[in-house]
Amino acid sequence: MAAYAWLKCEKEEDLDCLAVLRNAGIIGLAGSLFKAESRYSSITIALEKCSSRNSKLFFFFFYILQAKDQIGSFFYFPSLAFHKAAGGFGGIKIFSCPRIPVPFPNPAGEHTVLTGDWFKKNQTILDTGNGMPIADGLLINGRGWNGYTFNVDHGKTYRFRISSVGLTTSINFRNQVHNLKLIKVEGSHTLQNTYSSLDIHLGQSYSVLVTADQPVQDYYIVVSSRFTNPVLTTTTILHYSNSVKGVSGPPPGGPTTQINSSLNQTRSIRWNLTASGSRPNPLGSYHYGLVNTARTIKLANNANIVNGKQRYAVNGVSVFPADTPLKLADYKIPGVFNFGSIPDKHPGDSRCDLKTSVMAADFRAYVEIVFEDWTDTVQSWHIDGYSFFVVSGKIQLKA
């Protein structure tokens, strides 16, 4: 599977972008072949599969990102089929420019934590008209109970980049007798509150600082499910260097089905407005309270059985992937999709129309988007390519 992209080398000394890529071991084509400047190069963004000596299958993802303001902790995953459930995801770390200060000291090291639910069954369960079952377990970096170790030195502080990569299950993350100082949510610096545990919902990425200030031994890092019955739990090890004492006793407990504590945590997270951005902004910032909203889009999810299969929908439309890439169809192939095939609000019934849903938008329009969940389960929304911050919310609990 492959796609192509243009890469521009913007450093003054990098006049020949193709030479820069080759020095880094990256294959590309010179921009001059396409009547472009030598600062440009055409590259392949590819998913490759190769067999190792023991015949196991490994996946290598190569991404070129235009980072700009998207500094922070993120993860990538395929959007279609159940590739994500099969492990098709990985962490992405994007750093700010060296001359842009961050509101915390440089940590002694960093650890990436990719955690989420795991299922024994595949997507065929939906083809038989059944919904998603409760997960069979939880994994941390692809491993089960105590299957992974994070190494630390006593007295030093480490950054943990935690991403909830599951399909249906929100999780609670905690570190035995170690506090978690929250410093970032996705690409946004936050007020640095300290927590004993953190609820991390589907698709969210949190950065926390953990100081190894306890007696030298091994400790549990615990991930458990939220709002599920039964409660799923898994652990991994926080290992102090020179430790000769392993973990002992049961792992520390955490919140399970309680809702108020999760809501209170969400309300406690605030944007750090005094922290520097990823780069200087010569254009200034928007005064959002003074910008007129050009349009309000209300996105509500629902589910139904269509042709004997379980389908999920947004505003009454269940996506039906087109055979032709939409960007190509938009350029010169009519009839593949229609603008307005998905409405700006839910029709108010249980329909799940199969369409290649495309919503039109005006370039640089200021749009208010409202997410509505009419189901009795936690839903996650992924806005591809956009960084946003929740400005308000409303919770209605059923009696």
pLDDT score at 148: 94
Two tokens, residue 215: 């007696």
- C-alpha distances (whole Å) from 122 to each of 64, 82, 306, 320 are 31, 7, 19, 20
Query: Residue length, the chain?
Result: 399
CA 384 to chain centre: 10
- Cα distances (angstroms) measured from residue 59 to each of 1, 24, 49, 117, 194: 11, 20, 5, 20, 37
395: Cβ contacts below 8 Å, ≥ 6 apart: 263
How far is it, in rounded angstroms, from Cα 14 to Cα 137? 49
* Tokens 């020949």 found at: 16
Q: Is the dihedral of CA 54, 56, 62, 63 positive or negative?
A: negative
Cα separation, 320 vs 354, whole angstroms: 6
Could you tell me if 44 and 27 are in contact, meaning their C-beta atoms sit under 8 angstroms apart? yes
Torsion sign over Cα 196, 151, 97, 141: negative
The secondary structure of 15-63 as a DSSP string is: --HHHHHHHTT--EEEGGGGT--TTEEEEEEEEEEEE-TT--EEEEE--
What was the pLDDT predicted at 177? 96
Buried b (16+ CB within 10 A) or exposed e, 125-152: ebeeeeebeebeebbbbeeeebebebeb
- Give 150-174 pLDDT, tens digit per residue: 999 999 999 999 999 998 899 999 9
Q: Which two tokens stand for residue 159?
A: 């950054």
264-277 residue pLDDT tens? 998 899 988 888 66
| Number of other CB atoms surrounding residue 98 within 10 Å | 6
Q: Are 251 and 220 in contact (CB under 8 A)?
A: yes
Provide the pLDDT for residue 392.
67
**Eight-state DSSP code of residue 34:** G
**Averages of pLDDT over each 10 residues, the chain, 399 residues:** 59 81 75 74 51 35 48 79 78 78 92 93 78 90 94 98 93 97 90 96 94 97 95 97 94 93 90 71 57 88 89 91 83 85 92 91 85 80 65 62
Q: How far is CA 161 from the centre of its chain?
A: 11
Q: pTM for the whole thing?
A: 0.76
